[in-house]
Amino acid sequence: MTKKVSPVAKFKSLRTPFYYYDADLLRATLQVVVEESSKYDYHIHYAVKANANPRILSIIHESGLGVDCVSGGEIEAALKAGFPASKIVFAGVGKADWEINLGLDNNIFCFNAESIPELEVINELALAKGKTAHVALRVNPEVDAHTHHHITTGTKENKFGINLDQLDKVLDQLENLKSLRLIGLHFHIGSQLTELEPFINLCKRAEELQEQLLKRNIHLENINFGGGLGIDYRHPDQHSIPDFKSYFETFHRYFKVLPGQQVHFEPGRSIVGQCGNLISKVLYLKEGSFKKFVVLDAGFTELLRPAMYDAYHQIENISSSEKTEVYDVVGPICESSDCFGKDRELPLTNRGDFVVLRSAGAYGESMASQYNCRQLPQSYFSDSLE
């Protein structure tokens, strides 16, 4: 175990399982994001759905970023954390009327809209308030993200976005919706992308679309490339901060910004993924017929990613340094999918040991549930845990 997760002594008095966040790493990551994106005047909106913990939001707010929200609840959480409405973008394939009204009442920067029926509803609600809503069209760029199919969003059969062959029709309809102002295009091709090539293809597609729209005399003030930059789940200590330098350089190199145009991004996982750890305790060692199981007090109610996406998380026993054994590491939930890792090498493990699931800062706490009447996990931060 590294210095990152602090001494076991600090954890002894705390009820497990809980989330433990490295505030220094989060701040260091934000510093790199700000430094690398400001070279090109890019605008960054943190994707709140990755982690909406109030303290996390407050640290991110201090760095000056905006936010990307996908629900009314997230807009409320962002406003509460102090983010100005002028830096809020609101995405999602199914925005409810109250959520649209919340956005309108607060004059958020932009609605990223995905269909004609949605545009009609935003128009109607804006008209009723005597307002003009700023909208960007979320276009499905039909770029393959080469990632897990559950987190691919940019291909044609996906529920997200307006398909390329329908864009002209949507633009025609938009001309009749007088309470809307088209301010840009929005893309998001998927999550946990580990290569830059799909982003290059996205840049090319955005330039093509830009040309196409200029022919209709539409000048796009904003281009939003969404999120998706992956993190290294296998080597959280070697690669604790993702390569934002190459990421933003790629967009700078392959997407030519038009005069007066603003470019936006919505990173989620890449900002918060590595700073979070799920801390649990070993309840039992169970010997199967041909396997040994480590049964933790944490389950998919605290960290859903392995059960939902077959996701890999590094698992470490921070209480033992004995020679290793091979175990399946499982949770207590009454579902077979409640398994964090198969055939993992851990030091000889005993009841009461602390076991850490690494790289759990994104889509961990924010996806926690109360299934089996379990309590939602507590969270602690490295800079405030004494």
Ligand X SMILES: *Cc1c(COP(=O)(O)O)cnc(C)c1O
Q: What residues make contact with ligand X under the rule CB under 6 A?
A: 47, 49-50, 68, 70, 91, 188, 191, 226-229, 266-270, 362
On whether the CB atoms of residues 47 and 57 are closer than 8 A, the answer is: no
- The b-or-e profile of 140-176 (16+ CB within 10 A means b, else e) is bbbbebebeeebbbbbeebebbbebeebeebbeebee
Q: Show the tokens assigned to 113.
A: 């809209």
Token readout for 54 is 């109030």
Q: Is the CB of 356 or the CB of 362 nearer to ligand X?
A: 362
Q: How far is the CB of 88 from ligand X (least distance, A)?
A: 13
CB of 293 to ligand X, least distance (A): 32
> Which residue, 10 or 148, is less far from ligand X as judged by CB?
148
Integer Cα distance of 30 and 43 in angstroms:
13
Shortest CB 110 distance to ligand X, Å: 12
Task: Work out how close the CB of 27 gets to ligand X at its nearest, in angstroms, rounded to a whole number.
Answer: 19
Decide: residue 325, CB within 10 A, 0-12 exposed, 13-18 middle, 19+ buried. middle
**CB atoms inside a 10 Å sphere around CB 257:** 15
CA distance 314 to 235: 8
167 and 209 in contact (C-beta within 8 Å)?
yes
Residue 223 pairs in a beta bridge with 185, 263
Closest distance to ligand X from the beta carbon of 309 (Å):
12
**Cβ atoms < 10 Å from Cβ of 322:** 11
- 270 versus 301: smaller Cβ distance to ligand X: 270
Of the pair 50, 346, the CB lying nearest ligand X is at 50
Q: Toward ligand X, which CB reaches closer, 307 or 362?
A: 362
What is the rounded distance in angstroms from the CA atom of residue 183 to the CA atom of residue 111? Answer: 10
Q: How many helices and strands (H and E) does the chain possess?
A: 11, 17
Q: How far is the CB of 284 from ligand X (least distance, A)?
A: 34
Nearest CB to ligand X, comparing residues 5 and 69: 69
Please identify, using beta-carbon distances, which residue of 198 and 331 lies nearer to ligand X: 198
Least distance in angstroms from the C-beta of 229 to ligand X: 6
Give 53 or 317: the residue with its C-beta nearer to ligand X.
53
Taking the complex as a whole, how short is the minimal distance between the CB of residue 70 and ligand X, in angstroms? 6
The encoded tokens of residue 111 equal 């609605």
Which CB, 271 or 315, lies closer to ligand X? 271
Structure tokens at 119: 């545009």
Query: In terms of C-beta density within 10 A (0-12 exposed, 13-18 middle, 19 or more buried), how is residue 39 classed?
Result: exposed
Q: Whole-number minimum distance, CB 319 to ligand X, in Å?
A: 32
Q: Which is nearest to 338 in space by CA: 280, 290, 276?
A: 280
Question: In 147-193, which ranges are E strands?
Answer: 162-163, 180-186
